[in-house]
Structure 1
Amino acid sequence: MRRQAVDNPLILVDGSSYLYRAFHAFPPLTTAAGEPTGAIVGVLNMLGSLLRQYQPTHVAVVFDAKGKNHRHALYADYKAHRPPMPDELCRQIEPLYQIMDAMGIPQLAVPAFEADDVMGTLACRAAAEGRCVIISSGDKDMAQLVTPAITVVNTMTNTVQDVAQIKARYGIAPPLMVDLFALMGDSIDNIPGVPGIGEKTALALLQTIGSLQAIYADLSQVAALTIRGAKRVAERLALHRELAELSYRLATIDTAVALSVTPADLRPRAADFDQLCTLLSRYELKRWLAAAQAGRLWSDQPTTTVSTPLRVPEPPGASEESPPLETTLIVDEAALSAWLVKLRTAPLFALYCDTEAFDHGLVTLSGVAVAVTEGEAAYLPCSTPISGRSLPWSLEQLLAQLKPLLEDVSLPKVGHYLKPQQQVLARYGITLRGVIGDTRLATYLLDSATGRNDLPNLAAHHLQRTLHHGTLSAGKARSQGTAPARTLAQVAAGATEQATVALQLYHHLWPQLQQQPRVLQLLTDLELPVMAILARMEAIGVLLDVSLLQHYSQTLAVMLQSLEDQAHTLAGELFNLSSPKQLQQILFEKLQIPCFRKTPGGAPSTDESVLSELALRYPLPAIVLRHRSLAKLKSTYADTLPLLVHAETGRIHTTYHQTGTSTGRLSSSDPNLQNIPIRTPEGRHIRQAFIAPEGYQLLSADYSQIELRIMAHLSEDQTLLQAFANDQDVHSATAAELFEVPLVAVSSEQRRQAKTVNFGLIYGMSAFGLARQLGINRQEAQAILTRYFERYPGVLRYRQQARQQALEQGYVETLFGRRLYLPDIQSANAPRRQAAERAAVNAPVQGSGADIIKRAMVMIDQWCHTQPPGQVQMVLQVHDELIFEVAQPVVPEATENIRRLMVQSAALSVPLKVDIGVGPHWAAAH
């Protein structure tokens, strides 16, 4: 019973203190409509941090009541020095009340009493009932309430006031804080105190004599004290006794206010998410809106309490606080040997590799940090000088001792974003094995829509913990031109913090993963193996024909100049095709082309969708679109790719991102290889620059219409299933159904329209979207959709079921259990709700496709390891396509096995089909 009270304190928040402190501490934010929101943001941030920290079942935010209170009857000048509330703050109070009310947070304000009195009354009553209390306030008056059961915390300064800390700070017990203010006064509240007595003298009196009552019981005690001007102090006390006693009454928090609620009544209500989202949207509180749309504020997010100054006081016999992090800087052989034993015997350990000299994915190892518990970690510098002397080992010697441990699959290891660490270790001949968890991947799988998944953000979100040391490596600290920015000890602290927080985050996430076995299986059987594969692919890279690209850049420049000349002729004047403003003037003012869409600022839009529609009727928009396409191709690929060729390897080393999309698809950057056009001659010319080395061929293996096959499987539509079972051209088959013509009579235009419909429906396309894609009116597009659903009723049924599932569960799933949460599915905002409905249809299809090619990657990688080293290497992954470097003699065997494994990667109700091509460059292979 007592233990439960400690683990679940009553939280009382000083709302008035929060308001003023937030108003002055946070930026003066405003909405687009000019409504101030800085204080609202500050209060919600502080409140959210506090509630996530403690996860209370009982809480109240208490405000000062409007008008004067009972202290003004005692002293008319009470708080008379305070200026009136700024208008910018006044305007934020009512919105804040409304938002907290929609969140279900109890709010209190009692006429004639201050928030201090209401909180004091509730705190004392709760403590008497055996419950611990946390009062969150920046008001120093609250210190008088502190007892073993009542603690005051300040979330702005991250400080705590409990009995021990008040005694250490002031040398008096908490109840005497009232006597302190009675003697010294309080300029903020305009409590007069005794003139001429400051904090130092007042504390000396209280520490030696005791309370105000004891002091006045015998003022001769004061005169006898060995303090400066003791006699004069006694005289002042005698002269101003009435002021002292008045000040005592003013400073005393009333703990007997007649309240209509009890501590037990302060249980939050269920949040009204519709109303809350409306308010948060109006006041443009985007981060809170995203949390509300996900149904996540704090109450349904249990967190691991970390060791911080904000500690709930525990009664005698309760367990001790978690120990602080103990970091060992290993600089001798004995310590190294001891830690190697410790790592081998630990249930698991977290790893962080400290690196320097980053260069296109190739880095140098400067140290290794490991953590075996949340309080015990070590840093192993590789070859860093310490106080003028070298370490007793070289980098090679240290890694020789670490290699057996890091490659031992029976020793479980975890970390955060381990792919770069796998790469740097591989550069030294170490294959990291035994990885059972990566916190970046775990959080992504638990909710791919949460946004940023860097360690500091995840630590703050899940653990309410701030990373204090940063990640500057030892090498970077040494290599800076001036004195080192950080000592080796500081670098060690930063690196071990990375490992320790990753370990703590893993322990926090593990129970959530266990509650979702399919998600856990995705992590262990798919994402972790794919992470290791991507690490190798990035390190291998792909060979590039630089001269071809340089020559093609010149060709593109000529083509762009020709397009500019044509545009200038049509416009009748020179203008900058890349300038939206000049283009607006030419299209909509000079040429009088109708404007049907404007930017948020009210100017005619010239974005791609607008120009695409105009290009169906006017030549100039078509030329502008063509110019934009070629200019992007030139700048993004022809000009940039040669600059990204690594001097050491002669190859392009892209970076793959497993957590960059909400559906599980991989993305890439530096360079982004996912968006090179494949259907245009120019895009194919760029792909010609990706070449095979001498003695090798590039092999491209591409799933054929995999998303349509997945749609057939999910929808169980008999017409669609039959088309794939008969190995028909599904677009032609769809066209035959839509336009009611024999399959052999389908025209190329009919097939094009059917293809647009097939793929559009995967993405939840509406009649409006289809009309834009096909260049027809909305009525014609609706007629096509109606005919389609008549012929393919299973697809319509799937779309309806997917939306209903998202509405009921808040998420949809792929065939293998990957979830996409859709917080906007119940949004009152129609565009956002409709986007969520489209995602509900598309995500299971696209996400299943992503899972299938990842499964194929794992299976093919296992087969590649059975081949002689370097014979078959996976070098690129682009959407539904895998590209390999294959030694010329083994091309037939590789073709057979890669096709077999890709087909076997999933068992659908329709056969998977893989198109494979081989050639000296990517364009020839695809």
Structure 2
Amino acid sequence: MTQDKTLVLVDGSSYLYRAFHAMPDLRAVPGDPSSSPTGAIRGMVNMLQALKKEVAADYAVCVFDASGPTFRDAIYPEYKAQRPAMPEALRAQIEPIHEVVRLLGWTVLAIPGVEADDVIGTLACMAARQGVQVVISSGDKDLSQLVNERITIIDTMNGKKRDVAGVTAEFGVPPERMIDFQALVGDAVDNVPGVPKVGPKTAAKWLGEYGSLDALMARAGEIKGVAGENLRATLDWLPTGRQLVTIKTDCDLSGHVAGLPALDSIAVGAQQTGALASFYEKYGFKGLARALQEARPAPTPAVAMPGESGDLFADHSASPVAEAAQQRSVVYDTILNWADFDQWLARLLKADLVALDTETDSLDAMRAQIVGISFSVQPGEAAYIPLRHEGPDTPAQLPLDEVLARLKPWLEDARHAKLGQHIKYDRHVLANHGIEVRGYRHDTMLQSYVLEVHKPHNLASLAERHTGRKGLNYEDLCGKGAHQIPFAQVPVDKAAAYSCEDSDQTLEVHQALWPLLQANERLRAIYELEMASSETLFRMERNGVLIDAALLAQQSHELGQRILQLETEAYEIAGQPFNLSSPKQLGEIFFDKLGMPVVKKTATGARSTDEEVLEKLAEDYPLPAKLLEHRSLTKLKGTYTDKLGALALPRTGRVHTHYAQAVAVTGRLSSNEPNLQNIPVRTPEGRRIREAFVAPPGRVIASADYSQIELRIMAHISGDQSLLHAFQHGLDVHRATAAEVFGVPVDQVSNEQRRYAKVINFGLIYGMSSFGLAKNLGLDNQAAKNYIQRYFERYPGVQQYMEETKARAKSLGYVETVFGRRLVLPEINSPNGPRRAAAERAAINAPMQGTAADLIKRAMVAVQARLDAEKPEILMVMQVHDELVFELPESEVDWLRREVPRTMAGVAALKVPLLAEVGVGRNWEEAH
């Protein structure tokens, strides 16, 4: 017997298809669509590495389907007949996938004439009989029939586990009845018919009542209704269907796996590091290659406490922190006395560039207080100053106030160049302690955002990607969930290793990324814009905007009353109380009780009551209209009127939103706590929210907004003569478009025609199809097609731009803004049709959205510079979409109305004039 061992069986065919469809269209040479596809290979490596971490295996096999027929094809020629051919881009990756799986230490099996499921079934049952625990990794429900006390299925993609209890709970029958269950339900994927109109619930019910498929077939005459008729009509087929869905567990594998039934030949093998490194280099996996090289054993870092020369941890093998730190030799100091402090301060004063990182007690930048601070002046060397650590074994620390007082001259001197990762956060933290940091030259997060917008920009990802280093994990130090401790309670030696490494890695990542920016003048200019924007956004966040909490409370009460009224009205229409958030109850009332038509069904076959369905039904029925209003007001109340007041900082009475620069791939800013971008201003209730953003007595709110910015950018980029003419002569562009499309003089365009033209203008920018236009305007599809055709006939430059842009994106893998921001489109050559189409729409729209983002950032920086020089009493307090919002003395309104639009219009010279419009009021809504 082979007790207490584990065999892992990977359903390789399931893995490779999931990897292929989950990953973008990666290539061995990035941006070269003619080079070898590698997305499925990389996805396969990722999935196997994740599985290896999750399950400790003694034996491991990755099983693939071989090409050619199996015994099931002989039984039923239509078996799997409807499956599409394997995409060529995936077929080309099969052999490399087999190769890399072997190099990773797995046995690979692909046996002609035998399906992967049957190989898995045979190996699983063989091992289980020997007392081995078997873990099958697959998303295929068919394998559930193999589950028993020793065989378990896991799906690493969604965390699902199918043991005996899990199978029973999911399907309503135990594993030993799954073959009967599958025979009744059929398998649409493999083209195996079941009993018509019999789904999982009916099949489970029948098997629960009759015990087995044989017993059910014997008593089929007792089953009433259409289901009974269908069952009886299928009796001759069911034995064949059962044979097709039954996984074989007795295949002869002796010619393919030596030594069976002993399992020694499928023991987990050693990773073939040298060959694996060559493989990674061949297929362009540079990060994996670096990580492989760095993963080799290296000396443990010395994290020195004053007076000590020992290692950071006594038991290196037991600590995840030590494991991460072992990746390279570094020297990290912990500063606990003034002599060491003075020595490091001298190094800071002499250094050409210093990376610094703060450790704090909060992620809220406006509230966070320093716990410690670290510096690095060259790779591999860093120091940590603990300032507010606590606990029984905590060494004596230097006083926080005095340390910051001594650091302040260096921090506030712009001549001393500084570097950070997400510097805006650290600026706020130090500002909370009265220090206005100057001299920030670089931000590695923003460097990554400009160079590789489609990838993660957190430091751990950057370090692994560009230096091959894996960093210490915050949760290893502090725990997670309810058991997470504050950073101040982390032992000083561990905190020093963590914080020093952050500064050290930031410096090393900068050394990898900065040369790439220096080598590309346009990208460097975008990076410099992002750095300048970070400075302005810090000022804006610091200013915040005053909130009228009493008005919000009043609005919240009124919304609550209206929500209750809507519930009562909904109950009256339905003739009964019900849960307005329950799709099941809504379906019963809509379709069973009130007889509304079924608009569409969910993926599981249930009748949908999603928002799209409600909007359609609301055209003819009052209840869906009530529910839509109820949902809208509930969201408004929960997201804004209930929460905005609580988000205000007590010491200022203002909300200080966080502007995230490195999120949107187009360069647009996003905001949170609160999210200013998503206030629903198309409804009266939504617009009232803006009334709560107010100015103090004697001051007012002003809004400066770019007019039709994306259409102007379209005119500039496309060079279409008609669009250029409309903007250059100050025409109403929607009215001009309507005149062109409908063939009428401009002065005879009706309001309805202008509305249509506006939808067309903005819709085509976002890649709207004729179907989308028809739906938006309530037209039939042919009429929408005609409008689009006429539009392109009148604006041929726009159509030419769209076609050329798609072609260029397919060739390069990215598009650019007017100013050079690069917008990467990983799916532009995807074999997946819907993903490719979405990428093509993005290719058309992204240059406009991205250029608009560049323009508003240029405007923000330019306006702030003028305010600093001429009108410091005017505060810029918000940036939302294409709008800048100010708080200013009433006496400065004339200056702002005149000078801010002039400054915003002058930040770029396009082929059409930029136009900014200003509104002023006591609150944000009045300023519109």
TM superposition score category, shorter chain reference = 0.5 to 0.7
| Partner amino acid, structure 1, of 2:706 | Y
Match of residue 536 from structure 2: 533
Can you list the C-alpha shifts for 1:91-127, whole angstroms capped at 9, x where unaligned? 58999x9979617749679x9xx9999xxxxxxxxxx
Shift of 1:414: 1.6
Are 1:459 and 1:465, in contact at CA under 8 Å, matched by a contact in 2?
yes
Match of residue 189 from structure 1: none
Match of residue 688 from structure 1: 691
Structure 2, unaligned runs of 5 or more: 31-40, 42-56, 68-85, 108-263, 265-273, 300-325
- What is the root-mean-square deviation of aligned Cα atoms in Å? 4.2
Deviates most, 617-626 or 97-106 = 97-106
Match of residue 132 from structure 1: none
Q: How does 1:285-684 map to 2 (within 5 A)?
A: 298=285, 308-310=295-297, 324-357=329-362, 361-382=366-387, 394-450=399-455, 452-468=456-472, 470=474, 485-523=489-527, 525-684=528-687
Match of residue 791 from structure 1: 794
Match of 2:727 among 724, 727, 734: 724
Are 1:471 and 1:494, in contact at CA under 8 Å, matched by a contact in 2?
no
Match of residue 924 from structure 2: 922
Structure 1 residues 411 and 105 mapped into 2: Cα distance closer, same or farther (>3 Å)? farther
Can you list the C-alpha shifts for 1:185-241, whole angstroms capped at 9, x where unaligned? xxxxxxxxxxxxxxxxxxxxxxxxxxxxxxxxxxxxxxxxxxxxxxxxxxxxxxxxx
Are 1:304 and 1:508, in contact at CA under 8 Å, matched by a contact in 2?
no
Are 2:875 and 2:886, in contact at CA under 8 Å, matched by a contact in 1?
yes
Shift of 1:629: 1.5
Output the CA distance in 2 between the equivalents of 1:37 and 1:329.
47
Shift of 1:463: 2.9
Q: How does 1:872-887 map to 2 (within 5 A)?
A: 872-887=874-889
Match of residue 809 from structure 2: 806
Output the CA distance in 2 between the equivalents of 1:396 and 1:105.
59
Structure 1 residues 449 and 383 mapped into 2: Cα distance closer, same or farther (>3 Å)? closer
Structure 1 residues 807 and 22 mapped into 2: Cα distance closer, same or farther (>3 Å)? farther
Output the CA distance in 2 between the equivalents of 1:424 and 1:264.
47
Can you list the C-alpha shifts for 1:119-178, whole angstroms capped at 9, x where unaligned? xxxxxxxxxxxxxxxxxxxxxxxxxxxxxxxxxxxxxxxxxxxxxxxxxxxxxxxxxxxx
| Partner amino acid, structure 1, of 2:797 | G
Can you list the C-alpha shifts for 1:329-388, whole angstroms capped at 9, x where unaligned? 122222222212212222312110111255573211222100111211011234657999
- How many matched pairs? 682
Are 1:36 and 1:92, in contact at CA under 8 Å, matched by a contact in 2?
no
Can you list the C-alpha shifts for 1:471-516, whole angstroms capped at 9, x where unaligned? 8999x9xx99999753222212111111111111111222332343
Shift of 1:679: 2.8
Deviates most, 393-402 or 916-925 = 393-402
Output the CA distance in 2 between the equivalents of 1:601 and 1:621.
22
Output the CA distance in 2 between the equivalents of 1:444 and 1:484.
31
Can you list the C-alpha shifts for 1:18-38, whole angstroms capped at 9, x where unaligned? xxx9964xxx8889xxx7649
Shift of 1:692: 0.5
Shift of 1:644: 1.5
Output the CA distance in 1 between the equivalents of 2:287 and 2:499.
32
1:913 maps to 2:924: no
Shift of 1:300: 9.0
| Partner amino acid, structure 1, of 2:458 | D
Output the CA distance in 1 between the equivalents of 2:574 and 2:327.
73
Match of residue 136 from structure 2: none
Match of 2:835 among 832, 849, 853: 832
Shift of 1:728: 1.8
Output the CA distance in 1 between the equivalents of 2:906 and 2:627.
45
| Partner amino acid, structure 1, of 2:332 | T
Can you list the C-alpha shifts for 1:413-441, whole angstroms capped at 9, x where unaligned? 22211111011112233222222221211
Structure 1 residues 777 and 116 mapped into 2: Cα distance closer, same or farther (>3 Å)? closer
Output the CA distance in 1 between the equivalents of 2:486 and 2:638.
37
Output the CA distance in 2 between the equivalents of 1:867 and 1:390.
51
| Partner amino acid, structure 1, of 2:520 | Q
Match of residue 894 from structure 1: 896
| Partner amino acid, structure 1, of 2:789 | T
Structure 1 residues 264 and 358 mapped into 2: Cα distance closer, same or farther (>3 Å)? closer
Can you list the C-alpha shifts for 1:248-295, whole angstroms capped at 9, x where unaligned? xxx9xxxxxxxxxxx999976999xxxxxxxxxxxxxxxxxxxxxxxx
Output the CA distance in 2 between the equivalents of 1:265 and 1:877.
49
Match of 2:852 among 833, 837, 849: 849
Shift of 1:694: 1.8
The secondary structure found in structure 2 opposite 1:924 is: coil
Can you list the C-alpha shifts for 1:715-744, whole angstroms capped at 9, x where unaligned? 111111111122122112212222222323
Structure 1 residues 753 and 107 mapped into 2: Cα distance closer, same or farther (>3 Å)? closer
The secondary structure found in structure 1 opposite 2:711 is: helix
Are 1:472 and 1:491, in contact at CA under 8 Å, matched by a contact in 2?
no
Q: How does 1:66-81 map to 2 (within 5 A)?
A: none
Shift of 1:554: 1.7
Can you list the C-alpha shifts for 1:816-847, whole angstroms capped at 9, x where unaligned? 11111112111221111110010001100011
Structure 1 residues 776 and 566 mapped into 2: Cα distance closer, same or farther (>3 Å)? farther
> Higher Cα Rg: structure 1 or 2?
1
Shift of 1:457: 2.6
Shift of 1:657: 0.7
Can you list the C-alpha shifts for 1:542-595, whole angstroms capped at 9, x where unaligned? 111111111111211232233334433443433333222222223333333333
Deviates most, 741-750 or 479-488 = 479-488
Q: How does 1:207-356 map to 2 (within 5 A)?
A: 298=285, 308-310=295-297, 324-356=329-361
Structure 1 residues 578 and 268 mapped into 2: Cα distance closer, same or farther (>3 Å)? same
Are 1:22 and 1:38, in contact at CA under 8 Å, matched by a contact in 2?
no
TM-score of the superposed pair, with normalisation by structure 1:
0.67
Structure 1 residues 722 and 868 mapped into 2: Cα distance closer, same or farther (>3 Å)? closer
Structure 1 residues 458 and 22 mapped into 2: Cα distance closer, same or farther (>3 Å)? farther
| Partner amino acid, structure 2, of 1:421 | D
| Partner amino acid, structure 1, of 2:918 | I
Are 1:306 and 1:465, in contact at CA under 8 Å, matched by a contact in 2?
no
Shift of 1:747: 2.3
1:859 maps to 2:862: yes
Are 1:448 and 1:821, in contact at CA under 8 Å, matched by a contact in 2?
yes
Match of residue 90 from structure 1: 63
Structure 1 residues 793 and 442 mapped into 2: Cα distance closer, same or farther (>3 Å)? same
Output the CA distance in 1 between the equivalents of 2:293 and 2:278.
24
Output the CA distance in 2 between the equivalents of 1:439 and 1:748.
50
Are 1:22 and 1:39, in contact at CA under 8 Å, matched by a contact in 2?
no
Match of residue 821 from structure 1: 824
Shift of 1:887: 1.9
Structure 1 residues 587 and 740 mapped into 2: Cα distance closer, same or farther (>3 Å)? farther
1:777 maps to 2:780: yes
Are 2:10 and 2:63, in contact at CA under 8 Å, matched by a contact in 1?
no
Are 1:369 and 1:379, in contact at CA under 8 Å, matched by a contact in 2?
yes
| Partner amino acid, structure 1, of 2:767 | G
Structure 1, unaligned runs of 5 or more: 1-20, 53-60, 62-82, 118-250, 252-262, 272-295, 313-320
